Amino acid sequence: MSAKSVEDRSVTISFPFHLAANHRIEITVTKIGKDQYILSDAARTLGEVRDAGNTITERMMARIERISGAAGISVRDGHLIMETSAKALATSIQRFLETAKMIGDVYLVHKNRMEPESVLVSQIRRELDSKNLPYREKEKLQGRIEAHSFDLLVPPNGHAGLAIGIVSGQNTHSLATSWYFRCDDIKLVEKNRNVKLALIYDVGCGIWSDSSRNIIADKADAAIPSDSLGELWDRFQGLVTNVH
C-alpha cells in the first residue's frame, strides 16, 4: 500500500488489490471538517468498466447503485463517494475498498468471461438425465441485490434444488471473488434456502491457486474442478437429496 498527498486536505491511497484489468484500486481521502472525511475513487471504478468496452446503461447503473448503497456509498457523476467520521475512517476505507473491487470484478469479469466448455455442460446434463432429474438451462436466482445466472438448475421438488455454474476464465482470483459475491447475495434471500449452489471451476482455462479455490468453496455448497467430473454425481447426489 502507498499514499501520496494530492492537496492540502487530501491523500490518495493505492492498495495492492486489483480489478480484473489488473489496475490497483486507489481511494482519495479528503478532510472536510474537524472529524469528517469524504472517500472517493475519482471515477476510476466506472472508468475501468467503460474502458473494458461496457456501456453503462440505466439498468447497470441501478445495480451498481444498489451494490454501493448496501455499503453506504453513493454514486455521483460516475464517482463512488462515501462520507465518514474520523472514528470510523479505517472501517469505512475497508468497506469502500471491498465495494469498489466487487463492482469492478462483477462487471469486468462478466465482460471477459470465456464461454463454458460445452463438453462440461453436456457431461453434467447426461448425469442429471441418467437420474431422471428435471432441470432448466440458463436460469437465474434472485439475490438480495440482483439476479445471478447459472448454467443448469434442478428446481426444488420434495428435495433440495441444485444450481450449477461453470466458472471459466483466466483471471481466476477475480472470478472467484465475483462468484463469492454472487453466492453470498443469493443466500441472503430466504426463498433460496433449499437451493444448493455448485460451482465447476474450469482448470483447463486458468490456473486455480489454493486461495482462489478456497474463496469459492467458502460460499458455494460445492466447488469442483472440471477435471473431476467423474466424481460429480456423488457430490450432487448428497446436495440434491439432503435438505437442511
Closest CA to 193 of 243, 235, 240: 243
Q: For residues 166 and 114, is the Cβ–Cβ distance under 8 A?
A: no
pTM (2 decimals)? 0.56
User: Domain boundary at 76, 96, 112, which?
Assistant: 112
Same domain, 77 and 153: no
- Alpha-carbon distances of 15 from 18, 96, 118, rounded to whole Å: 8, 12, 38
Q: What are phi and psi of 33, to 5 degrees?
A: -170, -175
List, in sequence order, every residue forming a beta bridge with 222; answer none if it has no partner: 198
| Overall domain count for the chain | 2
The stretches of the chain forming alpha helices (DSSP H) are 44-51, 58-70, 89-112, 118-130, 172-187, 210-219, 232-241
Same domain, 83 and 150: no
> What gap in Å lies between CA 168 and CA 121, rounded to an integer?
12
Same domain, 100 and 14: yes
Same domain, 142 and 183: yes
Q: How far is CA 19 from the centre of its chain?
A: 12
User: Domain boundary at 65, 92, 112, which?
Assistant: 112
Q: For residues 240 and 154, is the Cβ–Cβ distance under 8 A?
A: yes
CATH code, 41: 3.30.1460
Decide: helix, strand or coil at residue 82. strand
> What gap in Å lies between CA 240 and CA 160, rounded to an integer?
5
Q: What is the pLDDT along the chain (244 residues), one digit of tens a residue?
A: 444 445 567 888 877 655 554 556 888 999 988 889 999 988 888 887 777 667 788 888 888 888 888 889 999 998 999 999 999 999 999 989 888 888 877 666 554 444 445 677 887 888 788 778 889 998 999 999 889 999 999 998 777 889 999 988 777 888 898 899 999 999 999 999 999 999 998 887 778 889 999 999 999 998 988 888 766 667 766 555 544 4
Same domain, 198 and 95: no
Same domain, 135 and 205: yes
Q: State the residue range of the domain holding 48.
A: 2-112
Same domain, 65 and 88: yes
